[in-house]
């Protein structure tokens, strides 16, 4: 019974994530019934306050639940093999809350048409596709809790992911976050509401990466600090420094 529950729980969390991720794409690209640049329904000041509160709520959940100290306490309540699935479930719920309750704000910053608009759509899609592709390069199934559930259900010991410098990780330390930034900012129609959304998410990503790197440096010591010294954080700028060959770092954050 415990194994069936674990598989059902983990699978449900993953399916919910997939649905919310697709809805986020539609929301950001103004293809959903309720989109980031939809018509405003309240005064701008009130809309800004609500939108900031929504992103803050998501950011607090995502940052706190990903920290090792919280995980150690949380797994006294939630079984260790369900910890990541629970994180995915709650995070998906927070994203869904954020985008369904988002308050659009009037004000046109730019509006591209023709080939320029199409180029922006393509760039945004590339950004969104980069998120799952990067996770597949590392350990997609561990990142979203499926591997932990599978190992529990089959009686195997819980494995820890090991990150090797492969693919985009040879150029930047956080390619998944860069993918999100590209997806959020590349839009043919930039309204005041979309600008606020992209700006808030950019700020959150910077803060989240800061805490993430603190955790990784504390966990892996000199290996990760060397990686930080040799590889840019978000922008793949050329560097003449010698790259670290391999860094052991958990991808399940």
- Inside any domain, residue 174: yes
pLDDT for 252 equals 38
- Inside any domain, residue 187: yes
Look at the chain and report how many structural domains it folds into: 1
User: Is the pLDDT confidence value at 47 over 90?
Assistant: yes
**Cα angle 194-50-174, degrees, rounded to a multiple of 5:** 50
- Inside any domain, residue 97: yes
pLDDT for 23 equals 96
- Inside any domain, residue 113: yes
Report pLDDT digits (tens) over 92-109.
999 999 999 999 999 999
The overall average pLDDT reported for the chain is: 88
User: Is the pLDDT confidence value at 115 over 80?
Assistant: yes
pLDDT for 247 equals 41
Mean pLDDT confidence for 154-183: 84
pLDDT for 54 equals 97
Q: Which of 182, 194, 185, 183 is nearest to 234 (CA)?
A: 182
Sorted by sequence, the CB contacts under 8 Å of residue 153 that are 6+ apart come out as 3, 6, 7
> Which structural domain, as residue segments, surrounds residue 130?
2-230
- Inside any domain, residue 249: no
- Inside any domain, residue 149: yes
Per-residue pLDDT band at 28 (split at 50, 70, 90): very high
Here the tokens at position 97 are 């809350």
pLDDT for 164 equals 66
- Inside any domain, residue 247: no
User: Is the pLDDT confidence value at 154 over 60?
Assistant: yes
Report pLDDT digits (tens) over 76-87.
999 999 999 999
Whole-angstrom CA distances from 241 to 163, 227, 229, 238 are 21, 11, 8, 9
pLDDT for 251 equals 39
- Inside any domain, residue 189: yes
Written in H, E and C, the secondary structure of 184-244 is HHCCCEEEHHHHHHHHHHHHHHHHHHHHHHHHHHHHHCHHHHHHHHHCCCCCCCCCCCCCC
Q: What is the pTM of this model?
A: 0.87
Per-residue pLDDT band at 240 (split at 50, 70, 90): very low
């Amino acid at each position: 019974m415990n194994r069936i529950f674990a598989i059902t729980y983990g699978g449900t969390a993953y399916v919910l994530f997939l649905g919310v991720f697709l809805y986020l794409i539609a929301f950001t690209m103004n293809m959903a019934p309720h989109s980031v640049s939809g018509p405003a329904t309240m005064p701008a000041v009130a809309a800004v306050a609500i939108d900031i509160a929504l992103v803050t709520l998501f950011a607090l959940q995502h940052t706190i639940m990903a920290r090792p100290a919280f995980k150690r306490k949380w797994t006294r309540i939630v079984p260790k093999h369900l910890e990541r699935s629970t994180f995915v479930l709650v995070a998906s719920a927070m994203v869904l809350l954020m985008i369904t309750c988002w308050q659009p704000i009037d004000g046109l910053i730019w509006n591209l048409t023709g080939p320029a608009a199409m180029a922006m759509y393509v760039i945004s899609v590339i950004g969104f596709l980069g998120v799952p592709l990067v996770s597949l390069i590392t350990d997609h199934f561990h990142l979203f809790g499926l591997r932990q559930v599978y190992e529990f259900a089959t009686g195997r010991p819980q494995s820890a992911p090991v990150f090797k410098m492969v693919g985009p990780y040879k150029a930047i330390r956080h390619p998944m976050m860069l993918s999100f930034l590209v997806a959020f900012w590349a839009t043919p129609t930039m309204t005041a509401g979309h600008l606020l959304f992209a700006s808030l998410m950019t700020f959150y990503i910077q803060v989240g990466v800061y805490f993430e790197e603190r955790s990784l440096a504390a966990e892996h010591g000199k290996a990760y600090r060397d990686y930080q010294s040799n590889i840019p954080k978000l922008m793949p700028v050329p560097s003449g420094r010698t790259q670290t060959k391999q860094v052991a770092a958990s991808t399940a954050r």
